[in-house]
Amino acid sequence: MALRGFSGKIPLLGARAFVDATALALGDVVLGDDASLWPMAVARGDVQAIRIGARTNIQDGSILHVTQDNRFNPGGRALIVGDDVTVGHGVILHACTVEDLVLVGMGSTVLDGAVIQRRVMIGAGSLVPPNKVLESGYLYLGNPVKQARPLTEKELEYLEFSARHYVELKNHHLRETIAD
Give the C-alpha separation, 73 to 84, whole Å.
Answer: 29
Nearest to 76 by CA among 85, 64, 67: 67
Confidence of residue 88 (pLDDT cuts 50, 70, 90): very high
Question: Domain count of the chain?
Answer: 1
| CATH code of residue 156 | 2.160.10.10
DSSP state of 67: B
pLDDT(180) > 60: no
- For position 1, what pLDDT does the model report? 61
- For position 155, what pLDDT does the model report? 98
pLDDT tens for each residue of 58-86: 999 999 999 999 999 999 999 999 999 99
Please list, in sequence order, all residues whose beta carbon lies within 8 angstroms of the beta carbon of residue 31, skipping any fewer than 6 positions away.
Answer: 11, 12, 13, 14, 17, 19, 25, 37, 43, 52, 56
pTM for the whole thing? 0.96
Backbone angles phi, psi at 32, to 5 degrees: -75, 175
Give the C-alpha separation, 140 to 124, whole Å.
Answer: 10
Mean pLDDT of all residues belonging to the chain? 96
pLDDT(156) > 80: yes
Give the domain range for residue 124. 2-179
Q: Cα 11 to chain center, whole Å?
A: 15
Mean pLDDT within 151-174: 96
DSSP, residue by residue, 123-159 = -TT-EE-TT-EEPTTEEEEETTEEEEEEPPHHHHHHH
